[in-house]
Amino acid sequence: MIPAPAFLTNPERFMAFSRWAAPMFGAIAVVLAIVGLWLGWSAPPDYQQGATVRIMFIHVPAAIVCEVIYAFLAGASLLALVFRHMLADCAAQAAAPLGAGFTLLALITGSLWGRPMWGAWWVWDARLTSVLILFLLYIAYLALRASLDDEAKAARSAAILAMVGVVVLPIIHFSVYWWNSLHQGSSMFTKGALAPVYAWPLFAMLAAYLAAFGSLWLVRIRGEVWRRRAEAAALRMARA
C-alpha cells in the first residue's frame, strides 16, 4: 500500500500545510483567471456561436470541476468510512457545498448559453439531466449531514450516499454518446477539435477553477477541523 503523505493524515501537519497552501492556490487562481479572461475576451467571435463562445470560458470549467469535486467527495467518503479518518471526513464535508456551487454555475451558465443557441433555457437532455442529478446529489448529501443529530451516523449515511452517487459521473461523461443529445461531445481534450485561440483561454480558466477549488477546499477543511476542536473543548468543559 502506498503510504499517504503526513500532511494528509496528521491534522497538525495538515493545518501547517494548508496555512500557506490555501492562499498560494488562491493567488494562482487569480493570476490564471486574469490570463484566461484576457485571452478569452480577446478571441474572435466563433463562426457558429458568435460572441456566446465567451460563456464557454466560464461554463466548461465549472462543468468539469463539479465532476472532479464529486470524485474527491466520493474518495474522501470512502477513506472516512473504511479508515474512520477524521481529516477524510472533514474533506468530504468541506467539498460538498463547493461542489453544489460549481454545479449550480454549470447549470446556470449552460442555460444562458442554451437560450440563444438552442432556443430553449432548458431541455430534458441526457447531459443536462444527469448534471441536474449531480446537483441534487450534492444537496441530498448536505441535507443528510444536517438532518441527523448524531454526527457519526450522519457522516456514515452521507458517505454511503456519496459513494453510491458516484455512478452519475460516467453517465454525465458518456451521456452525449449513449443517447441522442443536443449537447455537444467533449472537444476540450480531443486533439484538433478546438482552435488554439479558444483552447488556451479554456485551459487557463480550467486551471484557475481547479486552483480556486483547491484553495477554498483547504479553507473549509481548516474550518471543519476548528469546529471539531471547538466541540471537543466544549465537551471537555462540560465533563470537568
- Give the C-alpha separation, 103 to 1, whole Å: 34
Task: Work out which of 112, 154, 166, 169 binds other proteins, going by CB under 8 A.
Answer: 112
Task: Work out which of 9, 52, 181, 187 binds other proteins, going by CB under 8 A.
Answer: 52
CA-closest candidate to residue 138, choices 89, 48, 70 = 70
145 counts as binding other proteins under rule CB under 8 A: no
Specify whether the backbone of 18 is left (phi greater than 0), alpha (psi in -120 to 50) or beta. alpha
Backbone angles phi, psi at 78, to 5 degrees: -60, -45
Backbone angles phi, psi at 149, to 5 degrees: -70, -35
83 counts as binding other proteins under rule CB under 8 A: no
The DSSP call for residue 221 is H
23 counts as binding other proteins under rule CB under 8 A: no
Task: Work out which of 25, 65, 101, 155 binds other proteins, going by CB under 8 A.
Answer: 101
CB of 160 to other proteins, least distance (A): 25
Which of residues 65 and 80 has its CB atom nearest to other proteins in the complex? 65
Q: Return the beta strands (E) in the chain as ranges.
A: none
50 counts as binding other proteins under rule CB under 8 A: yes
CA-closest candidate to residue 158, choices 237, 90, 66 = 90
C-alpha cell read off for 108: 446556470
CB of 116 to other proteins, least distance (A): 5
Residues in the chain: 240
127 counts as binding other proteins under rule CB under 8 A: no
Backbone angles phi, psi at 50, to 5 degrees: 65, -140
138 counts as binding other proteins under rule CB under 8 A: no
Task: Work out which of 4, 8, 104, 169 binds other proteins, going by CB under 8 A.
Answer: 104
> Binding residues for other proteins, per CB under 8 A?
37-38, 41-42, 44, 50-52, 54-55, 58-59, 62, 97-98, 101, 104-105, 108-109, 112-113, 115-116, 212, 216, 219-220, 222-224, 226-227, 229-230, 233-234, 236-237, 239-240
